[in-house]
Amino acid sequence: MKKSSLFLLIPIFFALACGHKSHEHEGHEAAASDTMEATGNQLLYEKVMKVHDEVMPKLNDIYTLKEALKDKIANTPSMAEAKKKAIEQTIVQLDSASENMMVWMRAFNAPPDSLGEEKAREYLEGQMEKVQKVKTDILESIEKAKAQ
C-alpha cells in the first residue's frame, strides 16, 4: 500500500474510533444516568465527557501534523541539526499527547452505584483533572507543531 493511501485511511480510522467510542459513552451515559441521577454527579460526569468529546477529534490533527513534520525532516536534508532535533521533540510530544488520551479513555468508567455519592464525586473530580490535562497536552502539542 502506498504511503498516500495509508495517509488517507488514518483519518477514517480516527473517525470510526471516535464514533465507536461515542457509542461506548452512550452506554456509559445510560449507566451513569441510572447510577448518578439521584446523586447530583450526573452534571460532573457530563462535563468530563464534554471535555473528551471536544478534544477527541483533535487526534486526527495530531496525526496530520506529525506526518507533515516527518516529511519536513525527510525533505530538507540541509536542515540544521538543532532544528531537526526540535521537530523530532515536537513529534514525540504529539505522540505522547495522543497516547495520553488513549490511556485515559481505556481507564475511564462511570462510577457504579456501590461507590457511593461522595466517592463517585471524588472519582469524577479526579477524572476531570486528568481529562483537562489530556486536553492541555493535546492543544499545546498541536500549537507547537503548527509553529514548526
Domain that holds residue 103: 3-147
Q: How many CB atoms lie within 10 A of CB 11?
A: 14
- Calculate the dihedral angle through the C-alpha atoms of 31, 15, 54, 139, rounding to the nearest 10 degrees: 130
What does the block give as the cell for 7?
Answer: 495517509
Q: Which residues of the chain have pLDDT under 50?
A: 1-24, 26-27, 30-38
The amino acid that residue 83 corresponds to is K
Torsion of CA 123, 48, 142, 66, to 10 degrees: 80
pLDDT at 5: 42
Question: Which pLDDT score, from 0 to 100, does residue 17 have?
Answer: 47
Sign of CA dihedral 70, 144, 105, 15: negative
Please count the structural domains in the chain.
1
Check residue 121 and give its pLDDT: 93
- The pLDDT value given to residue 60: 97
pLDDT at 114: 86
pLDDT of residue 27: 47
DSSP string across 69-87 = HHHHHHT-TT--HHHHHHH
Q: Residue 8: its pLDDT value, please?
A: 43
| 74: nearest Cα among 87, 64, 62, 55 | 87
**Neighbouring residues of 113: CB distance < 8 A, sequence distance ≥ 6:** 34, 35
Dihedral, CA of residue 137, residue 27, residue 115 and residue 52, to nearest 10? 10
